[in-house]
A and B are shown apart, each in its own frame.
Chain A
């Protein structure tokens, strides 16, 4: 039957798998945004720039410290996460009492500064970062040749996403976080250091973005613009999923990756607008988002 649509089932599965790979990045990034928004009520426009910082951190670690991919997977998120903590302490904490929109404006400004600075020093061509040797080559799955590295991306992202979900929804720490989101004053009264939790949450969300950046470095070019193009799509993902739930962000991310992948097969010219179209449809039918609670 599928042959009627002009594509064989094998090719279709191949494209679906590739869609999942892109979906991993959408899922990781929208997860980070959801975590930050849930806790701080701030939309972190800098997320794209922090994703880019993660990729650059991996590049620098390799160039100047000789530390390869596996080190970068751990170190880059930590380093960029620390910059996130600094940002929160220096800038964001003054905005909590103000309209949410100021947070958006400030993080937008920070994104411009970061992207602009890197663009100055590194141009726009993109720097090379190679796939780690343990993950080169690929598997011939019969319907397609799957590079090992891409398979790793899907698996590792799933692990990270599910772990984050587990921590937030099923552990004591997560319970504190969720409680502090709903009623910070009461949680403080219980002796829990809420401001510190907020800071660390922001740092964690940023670290997630940086992790996505490290994973993206070998397959997409490490370039200063890599974040800004992606972040707008991730915003659409987040609007579709609604920022109410962690699992919602994960599912929506992967799901939209697959939808985009299918579009690339049947209607490639529209593949970078399909997510926005889905967003428009969801807004018409279910304004709160697929998993959201009405604000």
Chain B
């Protein structure tokens, strides 16, 4: 017995030494990369780093003997900057997992690099549904939302409530065109009609001409297939030209709570949009939002921040179960195996193609009179249940799916 014990002790000492080294250089290093100075600064930015930290704290990493270090970097929405940072992080700084990365072009580039180097990529900020489609990898999980879910949520729900004729105002580049295509497909599938579209150059500042064309089409709904500053400007100028007063409604296909805040309720009222998470949905969310805002200059969390929190929590659980963070594929496989459960998104799963599944919500922006606080911006119009919210597994074209 004694010799067995000492053998075990020896094995533990050696194995423990080896197991320790399984956490590459002894630390679980989380790299939060996003836009810290540009258009997406408020919806991701430093806030995502805060969310990741809160996740590690709530997980109790320190108590469990896991050393977690979180680093942040600004990719400036440029794929080359993002690729460089990720390469340097992995090659020289022993970063184990990359988190967030809004701006689909950067996310797609990072997706490749992380797969080549066998680390983990948890996407919260980016929208491209290709990440769980043709570009899916065994190292990536697409957490919070994607273009398909947004198109499905906003498009389907609006058509069902009577908005059956559409006109698209599209940014003439790959992302905008994809958004238009996905939403148009949903509209048509649910019995609506697309009356036309106008493709504006990207980026644009003056939408008056395009809005006039949208007005002339007499479509009930004007779908804004653009993002960031373009969306904000389109909405602002639509208000100026009295589009909503004239009876047409605007559907924002990629709008975040931070955009609505920037626009102000006076301009954005009545806008319909889809998000994955809103701070005012229940007490847990509200408490999280308060704690978050205290650390984030009073800016409330967006769904991207919530996604980072949720993803990091689940990642740490998987790493704890495996006792290792070295093999990216293994960690992701574990994350797909374990059902998710965190205080912000509740229970959910991660599918074989890397898609995290949870319900999506259709919101409408409140009128100024209806709002009781600076961040009281949305009212809930509909809940899209988890099994309907995302693109069916078979339709994605993800090479991993065919294998299983």
Contact = CB atoms under 8 A, between A and B. Distances in A.
Do the two chains belong together in a single complex?
A: yes
A12 to B, nearest CB: 11
Contact of B39 (A19, A22, A124, A264): A124
Nearest to B206: A22
A18 B208 contact: yes
Contacts of B200: 264, 268, 271
B172 A269 contact: yes
Contact of B41 (A21, A22, A125, A273): A125
A183 interface: no
A38 interface: no
Interface of B: 37-39, 41-42, 172, 198-201, 203-206, 208-210, 212-213, 215-216, 228-229, 232-233, 236-237, 240-242, 246, 258-259, 262-264, 266-267
A157 interface: no
20 contacts: A11-B213, A11-B216, A14-B212, A21-B208, A22-B206, A123-B38, A123-B41, A123-B42, A125-B259, A126-B229, A126-B262, A131-B240, A149-B240, A150-B208, A150-B240, A219-B206, A219-B237, A264-B209, A269-B199, A273-B201
Given A11-B216, A124-B41, A124-B229, 15 more contacts: A22-B206, A119-B37, A125-B259, A131-B240, A145-B241, A147-B242, A220-B206, A220-B233, A223-B229, A229-B203, A229-B205, A264-B210, A265-B213, A268-B199, A271-B201
Nearest to B201: A272
Nearest to B41: A123
Contacts of B37: 119-120, 123-124
A18 B209 contact: yes
A261 interface: yes
B233 A221 contact: yes
Contacts of A250: none
Contacts, number: 100
Given A145-B241, A268-B201, A125 B212 contact: no
Interface in A120-164: 120, 123-128, 130-131, 138, 144-145, 147, 149-150
B210 A219 contact: no
Contacts of B240: 131, 147, 149-150, 219
B205 to A, nearest CB: 5
A107 interface: no
Interface of A: 11, 14-15, 18-19, 21-22, 119-120, 123-128, 130-131, 138, 144-145, 147, 149-150, 219-221, 223, 226, 229-230, 261, 264-265, 268-273
Contacts of B38: 119, 123-124
A230 to B, nearest CB: 8
Contacts of A265: 209, 213
Contact of B262 (A125, A269, A273): A125
Q: Which of B209, B215, B232, B263 has the most CB of A within 10 A?
A: B209
B235 to A, nearest CB: 11
A124 to B, nearest CB: 4
A188 to B, nearest CB: 43
A139 to B, nearest CB: 11
Nearest to A8: B216
B215 to A, nearest CB: 8
B4 to A, nearest CB: 63
Nearest to B212: A14
Given A138-B242, A264-B209, A268-B200, A128 B41 contact: no
Contact of A144 (B172, B203, B206, B212): B212
- The 10 lowest CB-CB distance pairs between A and B, nearest first, are A264-B209, A272-B201, A124-B38, A123-B41, A124-B39, A18-B208, A147-B240, A220-B205, A125-B262, A269-B172
Contacts of B266: 130
A15 B262 CA distance: 28
A230 B242 CA distance: 26
B39 to A, nearest CB: 5
A15 B42 contact: no
A222 to B, nearest CB: 11
Q: Which of B200, B259, B266 has the most CB of A within 10 A?
A: B200
B232 A221 contact: yes
A271 B201 CA distance: 7
B201 A269 contact: yes
A128 B210 contact: no
B110 to A, nearest CB: 21
Nearest to B215: A145
B81 to A, nearest CB: 15
Q: Which of B208, B262, B266 has the most CB of A within 10 A?
A: B208
Given A124-B38, A124-B41, A145-B242, A221 B229 contact: yes
A41 B332 CA distance: 62
Contacts of B172: 268-269
B154 to A, nearest CB: 21
A187 to B, nearest CB: 41
A219 B233 CA distance: 8
Contacts of B198: 268
A11 B201 contact: no
B229 A125 contact: yes
Contacts of A128: 236, 262-264, 267
A71 B319 CA distance: 60
Contacts of A271: 200-201, 209
A144 B262 CA distance: 28
B201 A226 contact: no
Contact of B241 (A147, A229, A273): A147
Contacts of A150: 208, 240
Contacts of B208: 18, 21, 150
Contacts of B228: 125
Contacts of B42: 123, 125
Contacts of A125: 39, 41-42, 228-229, 232, 258-259, 262
Contacts of B262: 125-128
B212 A18 contact: yes
A55 to B, nearest CB: 12
Contacts of B39: 123-125
Contacts of B41: 123-125
A18 B210 CA distance: 10
